[in-house]
Amino acid sequence: MVTLSIEIIYDAVLRIQLFEEHEISVIFSEKGIRIKLPTTRRLAEYLDVPHYYVLPYFGMMEQEDLVTRAERVGIMTTPAGTVRYLSMMKERYAAKGEEILGSNVYADLMVRSGL
């Protein structure tokens, strides 16, 4: 049986966006910077686990104020979730993140997130 964690979910999100989809949807608003995440079904497929395995982790992520879920809109990071996402990107996949976002946007996101 596969053991999941919030860390594994975040890493899978980054790998999907950076190495498979080659795109990151970033939303700038008065609420802060948010990033649109893949669907729970897409993550389950990527992690090769049943869909219902990932759902409790998104519940935990909501409780920890890392993501918000909205019907027909999708899953988005909160400002705290964005910092965690960008921190992991910087630590593990900086070159690929900068390649996709462009050096100016990448640097600006890191500065705005305090990284």
Query: How confident is the prediction for the chain on average, in pLDDT?
Result: 94
Could you give the number of structural domains in the chain?
1
In tens, the pLDDT along 26-62 reads 998 888 899 999 999 999 999 999 999 999 999 999 9
Range of the domain at 19: 6-112
Q: Does any domain span residue 101?
A: yes
Structure tokens given for 69: 């879920």
What is the model's pLDDT at position 72? 76
CATH code where residue 97 lies? 1.10.10.10
Query: Is 1 within the bounds of a domain?
Result: no
Tens-digit pLDDT profile for residues 58-91? 999 999 999 998 877 789 999 999 999 999 999 9
Residue 87 covered by a domain: yes
pTM of the model: 0.93
Q: CB-side exposure of 3: number of CA atoms within 13 Å? A: 0
